[in-house]
Amino acid sequence: MVKEVKKIVITNEKGGTGKSTIACLLVEYLNYQNKKVQLIDTDPIQTSQTWADNCQTEGRAVSYREFNYQIIDTAGSSGSALTWLKQADLILVPFQPHYADLNPTITWFTSLNSSWQAKIAFIPNRWQNTKEQREGLTQLKQIIKEEKHGQLLTALTNRPALYGSLLNGSKENFFSKPETPAETKQLMEEILACV
């Protein structure tokens, strides 16, 4: 019997949107749920792979050769990332809900065919509930309604100390810590419900 592997790709054409942070959080959450995960980092900067290596140095494996989930951290949706996007069960698109991130994200989303759009879940990152960000989310919701595909997941607030330290790697799973925000767990559960 062939085991089913779920492929979750994290992408966005714009840099600095939180792709690696989402990838690492998702790997942590799946490990916390006793799921076996393989992390694939296709970004030349290798942020999520460095995190995995740092966790390994601390004595904790986070990525395995035998797995039920593949988490693929990309640098965008062109080149080698296209291969992963074609295979994806779910495409996560983190973005900051302001014009500089939203405009290229919406342009990219509306250029896709409907079968790809149907796999996309948007994650507002660094949410601060400003007027600009609320207007950005309203705009994205309208585009999703018009395209009849895509979905909007729970926003992550701006917690640079918490999520920044995650990327250093540690011997303890992020989700085993009492200070882990409820919004983060909720987002991870929403992501897994989409696959």
Task: Please tell me the distance from the alpha carbon of residue 1 to that of residue 52, in angstroms, as a whole number.
Answer: 30
pLDDT at residue 150 in the model? 96
Domain ranges of the chain: 6-190
| 157-164 average pLDDT score | 79
Strands (E), the chain: 6-10, 37-41, 69-73, 90-95, 120-124, 151-152
Q: How confident is the model at residue 3 (pLDDT cuts 50, 70, 90)?
A: low
pLDDT at residue 1 in the model? 44
Task: Please tell me the distance from the alpha carbon of residue 92 to that of residue 8, in angstroms, as a whole number.
Answer: 7
pLDDT at 80 over 80: no
- Partnered with residue 72 across adjacent β-strands are 9, 40
- Distance linking the first and last C-alpha atoms of the chain: 21
Superfamily name and number for 6-190 = P-loop containing nucleotide triphosphate hydrolases (3.40.50.300)
pLDDT digit string (tens) for 114-137?
999 999 999 999 999 999 999 999
pLDDT at residue 55 in the model? 96
> Is residue 59 packed enough to be buried (19+ CB in 10 Å), middle (13-18) or exposed (0-12)?
exposed
